[in-house]
Structure 1
Amino acid sequence: MDWKLEVIVIPVSDVDRAKEFYAERCGFVVDVDHQANENTRIVQMTPPGSACSITVGTGIVKGEPGTVKGLQLVVSDIEKARAQLVERGVDASPVRHVGEDGQWSDGHGGSWNAFVFFDDPDGNSWAVQEKPAG
């Protein structure tokens, strides 16, 4: 039996602001924007090429906005990914890596060791990691 992670619910304070951030700035595809009733709205968005989506909304999660940390995306070209985020207005970190001393340093660090970090408007935190080809 396959167990597939397909949706992660992200608590946000403003659904429209989160939708704009993820769709317009991060380039996620809006799959669903459904107002089930006056207390429940579901907005599901998927990063390009991903099998897993995120959902933001009202009446769907009790978590505090900004408390989700450590979400991670993988890309084939970290510099290109960072450039796309910055061009769209995302405050993305420089490309960083973990050095031999265990500390973060700017620049590309080799196979699986190149990251960019950003937060959504509520402070939910994302890492983008370069995945080696092949």
Structure 2
Amino acid sequence: MLMLMPDRDPREGKEISPEKQRQNRRYLLLLILNTLLFFMLYRILLAYAELTDKTFGSFLLMVLYMALLLGFGLAYLIYNRFFYRSGVTPEQLPADWSEEQKTDFLEDARKRVEKSKWMLLIIFPLVFTFFIDAVDLFIIDPFLRG
């Protein structure tokens, strides 16, 4: 059976608290709603631009979505320091560091990922929207409407 919300953290093998499970469910719901909102808004505005023969409007909409995706994507990567700290164990850190420094270094990476999680609520819907648009443009349009 497919479980969207597991009881254990797959990375650490620890139990996930009921509070964390509620947060994850809320996050998943927000992600689905945002994806629907971004996609529907994009398609409605594209249809409006097509109906009014304003190709510049559809071009502007696409550029706006691309700029948002680029901006939030770069902000997410830069804030998380391009994830160069992920997968690092305390043994891989410099030997002259104290245990406290090693713990702080690793904990900072975890905190940054948690704090920047909200950006994924914008990044994923934009990626999904462009993916569906590309499928429509390059697969559905040429072969089915052709």
Q: Which has the higher helix share?
A: 2
TM, length-normalised to structure 2: 0.21
TM, length-normalised to structure 1: 0.22
User: Is the radius of gyration larger for structure 1 or structure 2?
Assistant: 2
Q: Which has the higher strand share?
A: 1
Q: Which has the higher contact order (CA 8 A, sep 6+)?
A: 2
